[in-house]
């Protein structure tokens, strides 16, 4: 960094003592040698859990605490949006993929499964591990249902921005129907999910 980005290096150098005292730096970038001496395994400005996904132009984000409510974010003024550590993010290659995932995460079937699963996991129901238990098929731009979900999510974002609640409810119902189709749920099962989801969410409040 000193050679390639000298101005950034000089800026970070001003905060070197503070950066070395970070708990995450000490935990992930230091270790003791055989003699018990603490040695650093990375530069003082190292950050844990940062990768290419952090700088993806399109992301799906939601808070880890409370009921999951996903949204699509993209670059602002040509710069990637970096969420706080309390926000779960899914990096995406395109806007359509991001809206596809967002539609499914916000759908009643996903919300029902996440709420049911979180009964055992405590309050942090929105952690990334929820995606290990609820299968979201990989986005396929050639799949008509995938495209319909992506379009519905985009329209939902536009309706939310305008404050059009009636339009938003209408789109949400369309998303629920498409999600049920994707996951092979019957109309009767969807009705039960809606009913039980209300009880689950109400019980958590």
DSSP state string for 86-149: TEEEEEESSHHHHHHHHHHHHSHHHHHHHHHHHHHH-S-TTSGGGGGTS--PPP-TT-HHHHHH
Amino acid 205: pLDDT: 46
> Which of the four pLDDT bands, split at 50, 70 and 90, describes residue 164?
very high
* Over residues 12-32, mean pLDDT: 92
Q: How many CB atoms lie within 10 A of CB 191?
A: 10
For residues 178 and 180, what is the distance between their CA atoms, to the nearest angstrom? Answer: 5
Answer yes or no: is pLDDT of 202 > 80.
Answer: no
In contact, 149 and 174? CB cutoff 8 Å: no
153 three-state secondary structure:
helix
Average pLDDT score, the chain: 88
**Segment among 70-79, 119-128, 171-180 with least mean pLDDT:** 119-128
Q: What is the pLDDT of residues 69-101, one digit of tens each?
A: 999 999 888 888 888 878 889 999 999 999 999
In contact, 80 and 56? CB cutoff 8 Å: yes
The domain locations on the chain are: 6-40, 52-204
For residues 189 and 205, what is the distance between their CA atoms, to the nearest angstrom? Answer: 24
Amino acid 120: pLDDT: 46
- What distances in angstroms separate CA 43 from CA 8, 26, 40, one per listed residue? 13, 11, 7
């Amino acid at each position: 960094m000193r050679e390639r980005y000298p101005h950034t290096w000089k800026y970070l150098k001003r905060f070197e003592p503070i950066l070395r005292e970070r708990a995450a730096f000490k935990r992930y970038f230091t270790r003791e040698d055989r003699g018990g001496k603490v040695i650093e395994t990375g530069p003082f400005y190292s950050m844990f859990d940062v990768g290419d996904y952090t700088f993806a132009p399109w992301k799906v984000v939601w808070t880890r605490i409370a009921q999951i409510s996903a949204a699509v974010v993209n670059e602002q003024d040509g710069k990637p949006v970096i969420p706080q550590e309390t926000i779960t993010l899914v990096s995406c290659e395109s806007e359509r993929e991001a809206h596809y995932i967002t539609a499914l995460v916000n759908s009643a079937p996903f919300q029902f499964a996440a709420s049911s699963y979180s009964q055992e996991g405590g309050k942090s129901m929105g952690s990334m591990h929820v995606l290990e238990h609820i299968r979201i098929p990989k986005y396929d731009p050639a799949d008509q249902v995938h495209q319909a979900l992506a379009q519905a999510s985009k329209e939902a974002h536009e309706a939310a921005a305008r404050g059009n609640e009636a339009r938003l409810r209408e789109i949400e119902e369309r998303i629920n129907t498409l999600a049920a189709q994707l996951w092979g749920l019957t109309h009767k099962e969807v009705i039960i999910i809606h009913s039980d989801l209300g009880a689950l969410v109400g019980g958590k409040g």
